[in-house]
Amino acid sequence: MDRITLESPLDMHLHLRDGDTLTLVAPLSAADFAGAVVMPNLVPPIDALDALDAYRARIAVACDTARFSPWLTLFFRAYSHDELAAARRQIIGVKLYPEGVTTNSAGGVRDLRGIDATLEHLEALGIPLLVHGETHGFVMDREREFLPVYRRLARQFPRLTIVMEHITTREAVELLGEYDNLHATITLHHLLITLDDVAGGLLQPHLFCKPIAKRPEDREALLHAALTGHPRVMFGSDSAPHPRSAKEAAGCAAGVFSAPVALPALAELFADRDVLPMLQRFVSDNARAIYRVTPPLRRITLERVPWRVPDHYGAVVPFGAGTTLAWQVTARA
């Protein structure tokens, strides 16, 4: 099978940033995806309706939102029921970051036991909770240590849709089997790399991300979930652009910029595993069912035609820069 046409592919975890970076990267996502869940961790964070509306307008200037739906999120804080009721039709969810756990999360949640009032409002209003699930423990254990938090939330708020963002471990995949209200996004890079690719030889700064890539057995668990069409797993690139000056530097910024290569690399991965028809579920069908969204109708055709990934897009280096991918997008309709 050397060709596939995807109907309305979706990226359910995307960073578009702001300013010149937004202008650079938003069209790259809009070219191949019908919609995306856009993260709110700007500086300052998007945590009010006026900021949300202004950001939506800037995204519209940067790309053609008639063919690409930017589904926006609010940055988690203590919201009243009235605030969330007013925002309900303008957001796809509320994103929870533990304080200081990743890029631009200094204003995140410090006390995870003190958030229940807001969670009650989210559950009552049917607004999903999206979570960056890491502690401040040893870097390889941070996601595993956060799993008890997911268990508490899933039990205490059984009608709340909870999305474990960019999961990286076997244990996180297994947790999906415990609670029906838990769902997960998986990135392209966590399907392809392990920590050895990041730091096993010379340090590869453009592969450094949070959560950090884990062990081979963790990657295999992620692959199994994605390739077999697990109904509560969906694609979220966590494409997170940083300028080269911030990546190739002391204090390397965390983030992998994968938006322009995501669909070709996924097509190659699924084709190599002889499950290319399952790609539609992973990049669209499951997300539509979980979030109950109807994206613009788009048809993106990919074929087994090699192409070389550019060394850079502006000041940003993409995932796989300079390598040759076996598949590429050949038609957009």
**Cis, bond preceding 44 (omega within 30 deg of 0):** yes
DSSP code of residue 200: S
CB under 8 Å to 294, separation ≥6 — which residues?
Answer: 288
Q: Spell out a b/e string for 18-52, using b for 16 or more CB atoms within 10 Å of the CB, else e.
A: eeebbbbbbebbbbbbbbbbbbbbbeebbbbeebb
238 is catalytic: yes
Sign of CA dihedral 88, 74, 30, 320: negative
Give bridge partners of residue 14 from the DSSP assignment: 38, 239
CB 284 within 8 A of CB 9: yes
Among the options 116, 238, 285, 311, which is catalytic? Answer: 238
Long-range interactions of 211-216: CB distance < 8 A, separation 24+: 211/134, 211/142, 211/143, 211/166, 211/167, 211/168, 212/139, 212/140, 212/168, 213/168, 213/189, 214/140, 214/143, 214/168, 214/169, 214/190
Question: Residue 213, SS3?
Answer: coil
CA distances from 131 to 28, 109, 145 (A): 25, 11, 14
The residues annotated with a catalytic role in the active site are 238
